[in-house]
Chain A
Amino acid sequence: MQVFLTQVLNGLQLSMLVYLLAAGLTLIFGLMNILNLAHGAFFTLGAYCGVAVASATGSFWLALLLGPLLPLVLGAVLQSMLLQPLAERGRSTHLDLALLTFGLLFATAGAVEWLFGSAFLAVPTPPALAGHVSLLGISYPVYRLFIIGVGLSVAAGLTFVFDRTLLGATLRAGVDDRAMVTALGVNINALFAAVFGLGAALAGLAGVIAAPLTSVYSQMGITIVVETFVVVVVGGLGNLRGSFYASLIVGMTNAMSQAYLPEVEMFAIYALLIGVMIVRPQGMFRNVERVA
């Protein structure tokens, strides 16, 4: 029972980390129809910015604040200076963009290795979040609960904006019918760059908060982008709410297989992915209201 509870919390923590990446990725796909494999690079960059700020200032909180800034700017620049002009010239098939962003993912890994070396770096857990708490009979690290809290807050915030505000309505409209949104006078390219930047910033935030937990290394973004893609496909491409539930499923599958069926851990989520692709290729959580 204690093992089970610990694994539930571990699964939840992993889910929230992956959700921070998946939320941006699914919106980028839904709005811009871009399979952005470079999304993992923003995770890496966030983590390394976090390392740099934390070691320079000694403050984790400053790292948390500043870490996502570089991904934010680079994301917006990547969309508006590179991907958008390519799309306008007709070079925007999924293969073109997948190859380009895949290249950027590896280029980022190479660049941070050149700058920071290939050693595994660490960010100390901030003192305020160090230690363990007793929870339902188990002792659990406070920092992991913090990650769960951040993930749930971001999910609640994004859901509110997406479902209840005019900006969210404009984003939903953009997913439904991009051309019509422009015909209403909305500068969709500016909106795309903003969403791309915001998605990259969330990935960067995930990188900073993952840093004290896992070590920081140049390939870290490549590993997590695969899990993120599983989440985005299982949740339904472009479906923000679906990505949240899919994050939970993937996180839990990972944590539970680790504890109870370690021999299948490596491919448990891929089995899930294949199952979903066969049974519901549009994703498990296609928006019901859209069927009407």
Chain B
Amino acid sequence: MLEVEDLHAYYGDSHVVQGVSLTVGSRECVALLGRNGAGKSTTLKAIVGLVPSRKGKVVFGDRRIERLPTYRVARTGIAYVPEDRGIFPSVTVDEHLGIAVKASRGRRSRKTADYVYGLFPRLAERRSSLGGQLSGGEQQMLAIGRALLCGPDLLILDEPSEGLAPVIVDHLADVLELIRDEGTPILLVEQNYQLALRLAQRAYVLSQGCVQFAGTMSALDSDEAMRRTYLSI
């Protein structure tokens, strides 16, 4: 589905992603783990084209996408939820979902706002509220809901649990499990190891922009030295 090969990207002058290779198969949830500053977020941004990649290959389906502008990457079917959630402060909940539905026109999935309100009943109560008036949890639900309405063939999530109360993280995990089991591939960056353990089948561990571990989640879980060195767990 997604194949990244020897990807290099810079953040300003610093060489943040130094030759990352990874794959996400169809119906698979893959976690990208590592400490702060390991290059996880920049890897995701380079895949969706928000940060230019200087070298390397990104193949999605059978298309090369590493040189495409971000909106064309999105139209190949990659939905991206950034670390800051990317909620628009002066746009209502309804309108967020409307923009996504319109942007997905012509793609195969034809879900509507009601699908998202079914997954997150809390959002239905706040459908006329502006993005800036939502709590952190509501913003994250909206960000994920909006991404789902883009009709994604791949969902890329950057730390969905960051800054949220455990009960909300639990709710999000249920929804993400459901999405995964329905067959949408997920590439997940997460600091919350337990959440990654629950959702992901495979994992990559990054340190200083390089892949230090690639394998199944259970292999990582039993490799205590690896976890202690690169994840401090």
A residues apposed to B, CB below 8 Å:
166, 169-170, 172-173, 175-177, 179-188, 287, 289-292
Query: Which residues on A sit within 8 Å (CB–CB) of B146?
Result: 184
Given A180-B82, A292-B133, 19 extra CB contacts under 8 A: A166-B98, A169-B92, A175-B90, A176-B88, A176-B89, A176-B91, A177-B86, A177-B88, A179-B70, A184-B99, A184-B100, A184-B146, A185-B71, A185-B150, A287-B90, A289-B132, A290-B90, A292-B130, A292-B132
* B104 CB–A CB distance under 8 Å: yes
Interface residues on B, range: 20 to 34
B residues apposed to A, CB below 8 Å:
48, 50, 69-71, 74-75, 80, 82, 86, 88-92, 95-96, 98-100, 102-104, 130-133, 146, 150
Nearest-neighbour CB distance to chain A for B135, whole angstroms, equals 11
Instruction: Tell me whether B95 and A169 are in contact (CB under 8 A).
Output: yes
Distance of A163 Cα from B90 Cα, bound (Å): 10
Interface centre among A185, A186, A292 (most CB of B within 10 A): A185
Nearest-neighbour CB distance to chain B for A120, whole angstroms, equals 44
Query: Which residues on B sit within 8 Å (CB–CB) of A170?
Result: 99, 102
Instruction: Tell me whether B98 and A184 are in contact (CB under 8 A).
Output: no
Q: Is the interface of A mostly helix, strand, loop or mixed?
A: helix
Nearest-neighbour CB distance to chain A for B81, whole angstroms, equals 9
Instruction: Tell me whether B90 and A289 are in contact (CB under 8 A).
Output: yes
- Which of B50, B74, B130, B131 makes the CB contact (< 8 A) with A185? B74
Query: Which residues on B sit within 8 Å (CB–CB) of A182?
Result: 50, 69-71, 74
Nearest-neighbour CB distance to chain A for B75, whole angstroms, equals 5
Distance of A290 Cα from B96 Cα, bound (Å): 15
6 cross-chain CB contacts under 8 A: A180-B88, A182-B69, A183-B48, A183-B70, A183-B86, A184-B103
Query: Which residues on B sit within 8 Å (CB–CB) of A291?
Result: 132
Distance of A181 Cα from B100 Cα, bound (Å): 9
Instruction: Tell me whether A179 and B50 are in contact (CB under 8 A).
Output: yes
Residue of A nearest to B80 (CB): A183
Query: Which residues on B sit within 8 Å (CB–CB) of A292?
Result: 89, 130, 132-133
Nearest-neighbour CB distance to chain B for A14, whole angstroms, equals 29
Instruction: Tell me whether B74 and A183 are in contact (CB under 8 A).
Output: yes
Q: Given A185-B74, A289-B90, are A173 and B99 neighbors across the interface (CB < 8 Å)?
A: yes
Query: Which residues on B sit within 8 Å (CB–CB) of A184?
Result: 71, 74, 99-100, 103, 146, 150
Nearest-neighbour CB distance to chain B for A27, whole angstroms, equals 13
Distance of A186 Cα from B88 Cα, bound (Å): 14
Nearest 10 CB-CB pairings of A with B: A185-B74, A180-B86, A169-B95, A185-B103, A176-B88, A182-B70, A292-B132, A173-B88, A182-B71, A292-B133
- Which of B50, B99, B104 makes the CB contact (< 8 A) with A169? B99
